[in-house]
């Protein structure tokens, strides 16, 4: 083929041509939309034989106007040319036959295989780069959190941590009653079965949460969160309870 009758689009897996450019090259006199509707009725399927696209054209005042177009497979274009039964149709059909022969030569197949391999390698390199960056970020986060996690582990193992029941005993009451009092004086609230400090207290190091394995009444294993108090929190409770006139048993006895 020494002359390119129509531009070929090689951006997809199979070469395609513009339906409007084929329409113009075949010198069709009928309106484009009507002509293409008639051609596509010959058993062609959108998505496999042709794809709807948008193109632009210049109008009389020089401005661009968007128009409907289709990217047509070479096989569909070849069959459309045969349907036309014209000299132009014959020329274009032979052009597409020669194009298919060239497209399917061993050299062209090998060239496309190399191109696909290059694209695959590029994608893999990009994936490896993204994965490497993700691993680096995760490693940094782990490095930043490990000292804090180690610190929390040591605190949770610290024998100085006590339960609210142990503190309540110092006041001669049950853990449930103590929790209710702490709720009433605005220190804590209950959520999902765990007592939590209000926001103005929760960053003071007064409490620590501990995960405890439990077995439900139906035999189902589960976990729950227990709140334990640090010695600092214990002193805080002493001061707050004292403000409300609530004293530990030992001080109650001293005031008698």
Query: Residue by residue, what is the 3-state secondary structure of 86-128?
Result: CHHHHHHHHHHHHHHHHHCCHHHHHHHHHHHHHHHHHHHHHHH
CB-CB neighbours of 178 under 10 Å? 22
Are 129 and 139 a contacting pair, CB within 8 Å?
A: no
Q: What phi and psi values does residue 79 have, to the nearest 5 degrees?
A: -70, -35
Q: Which residues contact 250 (CB under 8 A, 6 or more apart)?
A: 170
Give dist(CA 203, CA 120) in Å, integer: 51
Distance of CA 141 to the CA centre of its chain: 20
* Total-model pTM: 0.41
The per-residue pLDDT for 159 is 56
- Give pLDDT < 70 ranges for the chain: 1-3, 107-120, 136-137, 139-159, 223, 253-256
Largest CA distance in the chain: 122
The per-residue pLDDT for 61 is 73
């Amino acid at each position: 083929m020494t002359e390119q009758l129509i531009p070929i689009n090689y951006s997809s897996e199979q070469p395609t041509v513009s339906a409007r450019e084929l329409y113009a090259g075949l010198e069709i006199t009928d309106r484009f939309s009507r002509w293409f509707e008639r051609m596509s009725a010959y058993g062609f399927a959108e998505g496999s034989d042709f794809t709807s696209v948008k193109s632009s054209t210049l109008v009389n005042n020089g401005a661009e106007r968007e128009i409907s177009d289709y990217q047509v497979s070479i096989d569909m274009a070849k069959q459309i040319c045969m349907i036309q039964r014209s000299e132009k149709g014959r020329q274009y059909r032979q052009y597409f036959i020669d194009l298919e022969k060239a497209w399917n030569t061993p050299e062209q197949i090998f060239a496309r295989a190399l191109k696909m391999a290059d694209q695959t390698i590029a994608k893999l390199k990009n994936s490896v780069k993204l994965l490497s960056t993700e691993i680096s970020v995760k490693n940094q986060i782990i490095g930043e959190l490990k000292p804090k996690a180690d610190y929390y582990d040591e605190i949770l193992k610290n024998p100085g941590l006590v339960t609210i029941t142990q503190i309540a005993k110092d006041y001669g009451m049950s853990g449930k009653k103590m929790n209710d009092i702490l709720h009433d004086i605005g220190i804590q609230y209950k959520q999902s079965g765990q007592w939590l400090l209000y926001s103005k207290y929760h960053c003071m190091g007064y409490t620590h949460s501990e995960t405890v394995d439990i077995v439900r009444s139906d035999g189902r294993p589960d976990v729950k969160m227990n709140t334990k108090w640090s010695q600092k929190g214990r002193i805080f409770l002493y001061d707050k309870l004292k403000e409300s006139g609530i004293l530990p048993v030992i001080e109650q006895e001293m005031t008698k």
